[in-house]
Structure 1
Amino acid sequence: MPACSDMLAATLQKHEDASAPTLVFLHGLLGSQKDWQPVVDQLSCHYSCLTLDLPGHGESTDVDGVDFDTTCQLILQSINLHINGPIWLIGYSLGARLAMYLSSFHARLLPTAAFKVEALVVESGHTGLSPQDRPARWQHDDKWAKRFEQEPMGDVLQVWYEQPVFSSLNHEQKQSLVAVRGGNLGSKVASMLRATSLSKQPLLGEPLCESGIPVHFICGESDSKFSALASHSGFDFQIVPNAGHNIHAEQPKLFSQLVKQLIEAI
């Protein structure tokens, strides 16, 4: 479905079992709904799967995120257009933070939703910074946003994937990501990075608890930072072996099996 000013590009792959929840996938910064295809290939034989292009990404480049509320309202409206029934939200990195935010505040953002968030899977997601840590994070994100705006995308990505969070990737994997992500528009990436900066995200641990929605954190064995965050979150968490920050790309079969196990355990 093509994106317009108030609609995100989305792809729904339906499964015949209407009683099963629909899985909704939210990608990370610089990604697109296509990132989830190896996982969708595994899970679509059991569940309907909906993938979305976030604002400024993929086929949603004409859509602006603006801020957390606007971005999450766009996501909720897009889900509501396609689904009437229970869903499992599955988000990676930025997509995980958005999934946590809209799960916490969906009643305010879209009070008339036809679907119900049954559970949330957080892949390498951050629940939020303390107020004193937010100014430094804003400076960090705004610096990257300026680079995305001003420098060739390929040059910025070469440096982007040298950040510690991507240390589990080898040289070939990094170069593959640089090639795949090179088609992004720098101004759109910068806009989304500023709109949904971790510095602007509230602490989501307590609101998630109050939402009553089951939350499952998934982290890669080699991603020590996010594994530590998950272990201290108070929520259920799983560690995936031989994986770093982007588990669904590095270990799509294991990731898919884990999601299926979580659903079947409910």
Structure 2
Amino acid sequence: MTAPKTLVFLPGFLGAKTDFDTVIAHLPSNVSTVVLTLPDSVKQSVTFDACVVDWFKSTQGQLPTAFYLYGYSLGGRFAMAIAQYLSRQSPDALRGLMIESAHPGLSLQHEKTQRLASDKKWANAFKNEPLGEVLLSWYRQPVFSSLTASTIAQFIQKKSHLNGLKMAEQLLNFSLANQPNYSSFLRSLTCPLAYLSGEYDRKFTHVGRSLGVGTHRIIKGAGHNIHYSHAKSVAKQLTLMFKQ
């Protein structure tokens, strides 16, 4: 009999608990899942690491002592911070880490400056402009170029209930500009590690190749949002990790 496993999902910016439903439907029957909701802010802390860890500590009680972790985009960046925290505090807690289309961190100051300026611009738009218009602009960014017009319309409709002020807060509080670079940590990680990028997502395929750690899987026919368009492929990669 195969031992039961727990998989914790972390959605991306603008994400919801239902985002991984199709992936979950294709997982083995011995896998239980938990989908966490990312915070928009954690007021006790100031650094990216501390913010994520403070939030994780407040949710850790609902998790088993050992689990696998999957994070997409912003959730992937959270997952890296959580993995680093667990490696120091509970080395046996993390059984495996899978990252989808997430950046490990910027190294150059001018990159951080440019990213912060971009995030401030988007935050201002989420605060002050009609949400539907901002979401349309958001999904027209190059990283989402593989999305069809009908898919973008579905995404906008699904996210029309979101609070623009809270989205702005999340963007700024967890900006990539304020995140440390987790590349070195990921190279030292002892548990199974996999990085997923889409064939049509050139930016994050380059990121995955540059990491040079764990297993980098390029999902054929996928763009940035792999778990949405290629849920079965994601479930397959997770199942392979469970067997390691």
Q: TM-score, normalised by structure 1?
A: 0.84
Q: Is 1:127 matched with 2:108?
A: no
Q: Is 1:255 matched with 2:234?
A: yes
For 1:46, the aligned partner's letter is N
**Deviation for aligned residue 1:188:** 0.6
In 2, Cα distance between equivalents of 1:73 and 1:26: 16
Q: Is 1:103 matched with 2:83?
A: yes
RCO higher in 1 or 2 (8 Å CA, sep ≥ 6)?
Answer: 2
**Deviation for aligned residue 1:210:** 3.0
Percent of matched pairs sharing the same residue: 33
Q: Is 1:92 matched with 2:76?
A: no
In 2, Cα distance between equivalents of 1:94 and 1:166: 15
**Deviation for aligned residue 1:76:** 4.0
In 1, Cα distance between equivalents of 2:114 and 2:13: 20
Corresponding residue for 2:16? 32
Q: How does 1:149-168 map to 2 (within 5 A)?
A: 149-168=127-146
1:21–1:85: 8 Å Cα contact kept in structure 2? no
More moved, 234-243 vs 35-44:
35-44
RMSD, aligned α-carbons:
1.9
Q: Is 1:49 matched with 2:5?
A: no
Q: TM-score, normalised by structure 2?
A: 0.91
For 2:104, the aligned partner's letter is T
| Structure 1 stretches lacking a partner, 5+ long | 1-15, 57-63
Q: Is 1:23 matched with 2:3?
A: no
**Deviation for aligned residue 1:38:** 1.0
| Structure 2 stretches lacking a partner, 5+ long | none
**Deviation for aligned residue 1:115:** 7.0
1:27–1:54: 8 Å Cα contact kept in structure 2? yes
For the residue of structure 1 that corresponds to 2:31, the secondary structure is: coil
For 1:148, the aligned partner's letter is F
2:28–2:239: 8 Å Cα contact kept in structure 1? no
C-alpha change, 1:179 and 1:128, in structure 2 (3 Å) is same
